[in-house]
Amino acid sequence: MSAPVNETLKPAPRKFFMSLRDIGFWIRSARTDATFEKLREQHGSQKAFDLLYEQKRDPFGSTLARYRYQRLKYQRLISFLPNRRYGSALDIGCGLGPFTRELAHYADHVLGIDLSAVAVDQARKLSAAQPNIRFEQQDVHRLEQFAGSFDLIALLDVLYYLPDMSEGALKPIARQVERLLAPRGRLLLVNHYFFRVDPASKHTRRIHDVFQAGTWLRLESEHWRPFFLASIFVKEAGNRQAQTAAQCGAEKRAG
């Protein structure tokens, strides 16, 4: 399921998705993840991320020019989005802000949030030349503190870092994300996806299924690329009210 090319923000990149140098990117990511798990056991998630960004300027390699994979991944994600101008966008788990800066070309205002105050401080410095971007330190579990709404929300490679990925833990996050979307707004949900049957891919499939089943968002398109799954959901105007009314009517008839 995919949108026609002429209806998306930009054409997909034609380059091969990675180079030999990107082997170093995957090794770097795996080492960072292992270090994070050890730090989280000792300090909790927020302090663990702060320590990662204090110890290494870019622990995940997301902004390093020598790695092709992540840069092309961001370009592909932009190419999946419907071709429109987004008044406001929210990048949840922005890290150093590489995708936030990509979104800034297509949105009037972009807010990047991350659990790590150290990452947010670095992201502000890296994004100083783009005045339509701002950053805040924020926890994905506390999205209820946000007011207003966004035309686009990006949730990239974040949720599998949560200590609890049960359906009961994911549903409140999904519903808060839905609340923050403006009518006809889009959610871009992205997570690692390798060979479908491996543990990481099963976790990803379950996360995306929770967002589809646990909210009133409609799945608009889904894209599998090496090595990620991207789902685009749309918030239908009045969809929740219509379906709630139908459900109440059915309950009255059954009673």
What does the alpha-carbon distance between residue 144 and residue 67 come to, in Å, rounded to a whole number? 36
* Res 247: pLDDT: 43
Question: Both tokens of residue 101?
Answer: 């800066």
Strands of the sheet containing 227-234, edge to edge, are: 133-137, 107-114, 86-92, 150-156, 181-193, 227-234, 218-225
DSSP 171: H
Query: Given a cut of 80, is residue 239 above it in pLDDT?
Result: no
What does the alpha-carbon distance between residue 8 and residue 21 come to, in Å, rounded to a whole number? 30
Q: Quick one: how far is CA 179 from the chain centroid?
A: 16
CATH of domain 5-254: 3.40.50.150
- Summarised one tens digit per residue, pLDDT across range 124-176 is 999 999 999 999 999 999 999 888 899 999 999 999 999 999 999 999 999 99
**Neighbouring C-alpha atoms within 13 Å toward the C-beta of 103:** 32
Dihedral over alpha carbons 50, 48, 28, 61 (to 10 degrees): -30
Evaluate whether 111 touches 134 at the Cβ level (below 8 Å): yes
What does the alpha-carbon distance between residue 186 and residue 3 come to, in Å, rounded to a whole number? 13
- Summarised one tens digit per residue, pLDDT across range 41-91 is 999 999 999 999 999 999 999 999 999 999 999 999 999 999 998 999 999
Q: pTM for this one?
A: 0.90
Amino acid at 137: Q
The answer to whether the bond into 227 is cis (omega within 30° of 0) is: yes
Q: What share of the chain is helix, strand, coil (3-state, %, to 5)?
A: 45, 25, 30
DSSP for 199-225, written as a single string: HHHHHHHHHHHHHHHSSS-EEEEEEEE
